[in-house]
Amino acid sequence: MGSNLRIGSRANRGLAPMTPKERLSLIECYARGPGLLRAAVERKPADALKWRPAPGKWSAHEVVCHCADSETVSSTRIRFLTGEERPTILGYDPDRWAQRFDYHALPLELALCQIDQVRAWTSDLIRRFPPEFWAREGTHSESGRYTAETWLTTYAEHLEIHARQIERNLAAWNVATR
Ligand code: NI
């Protein structure tokens, strides 16, 4: 975790590119993410999966559906960044998607399978990237300059962050239903 935070904060300050070793370590974090998310979901009792800790906060089920959509978008982002010339990367509002797509109505297991599949498919691709691909860049519609390394820094820990969110949700559910 420490190294993720360090690399993340460095990327935020816009400093030098990563070393190959740092990139490899983030790619391994990226590949491990689905297992962490699944483990967090499996620790939750079935009747706690759609429990929301507060109005406007996501249930574990909604978190997993967000991850499936976000990881699907992410898998296209890295392909546009490296396969096209200076693409525009579109931002979106995850809370609006959760409401508009009625995440509680969507099947949890399909969401988990989607996450497994897009991450495995993309992990395989990015492990094969030549070093110069990591310097390729586009423009994010909300945050501006967006390189392939920005992408890697962002998504390497995305599922780990949401696995921890599900663990906090379970702790709050345990207190609320005690
Ligand atoms: Ni997210």
**How much distance in Å is there from the Cα of 64 to the middle of ligand 1?**
9
Which CATH number covers residue 106? 1.20.120.450
How confident is the model at residue 1, as a pLDDT?
A: 31
Q: How far is the CA of 166 from the centre of ligand 1 (A)?
A: 12
What does the pLDDT look like over 21-49, one tens digit per residue?
Answer: 999 999 999 999 999 999 999 999 999 99
Mean pLDDT of 122-131: 97
Interval between CA 47 and ligand 1 midpoint (Å) = 23
Mean of the per-residue pLDDT values for the chain? 92
CA 157 to ligand 1 center in whole angstroms = 10
Percentage of the chain lying above the pLDDT 70 cut: 91
Region 51-58: what's the mean pLDDT? 95
User: What is the Cα–Cα distance from 103 to 50, expressed in whole angstroms?
Assistant: 10
- The alpha carbon of 132 and the centre of ligand 1 are apart by a number of angstroms equal to 27
Tokens for 32, please give them. Answer: 């491990």
Say how many Å lie between the CA of residue 17 and the centre of ligand 1: 24
- In the numeric block, the tokens 């790619």 are attached to 27
What is the pLDDT, as a whole number, of residue 7?
A: 42
Q: 45 CA to middle of ligand 1, Å? A: 22
Nearest CA-CA partner of 67 in 36, 44, 23, 89: 36
- Is residue 1 within 8 A of residue 153, CB to CB? The reply is no
DSSP state of 58: P
What is the Å distance from ligand 1's center to 66 Cα?
Answer: 7
Confidence of residue 174 (pLDDT cuts 50, 70, 90): very high
Overall average pLDDT of the 108-114 stretch: 98
* Residue 158 Cα to ligand 1 middle (Å): 6
The overall longest dimension of the chain from CA atoms, in Å, is 55
Q: What one-character DSSP code corresponds to residue 91?
A: P
> Which helix (H) or strand (E) segment is 36 a member of?
helix 20-42
Query: d(Cα 60, Cα 105) in Å, to the nearest integer?
Result: 13
In angstroms, the CA 101 to CA 96 distance is: 8
Q: Identify each DSSP E strand in the chain by its residue range.
A: 88-89, 137-140, 144-147
Gap from CA of 156 to ligand 1 centroid (Å): 12
pLDDT per residue as tens digits for the range 138-171: 999 999 999 999 999 999 999 999 999 999 999 9
Mean pLDDT within 113-127: 98
Q: Write the CA distances from 127 to 27, 32, 82, 133, 138, integer angstroms.
A: 7, 14, 13, 11, 20
Q: What is the number of structural domains in the chain?
A: 1
**Residue 178 banded pLDDT, cuts 50, 70, 90:** confident
If we measure between CA atoms, which residue out of 29, 26, 34 comes closest to residue 149?
26
Instruction: Measure 103 CA to ligand 1 centroid, in angstroms.
Output: 14
What integer pLDDT is reported at residue 15 of this predicted model? 56
Domain range for 20: 2-176
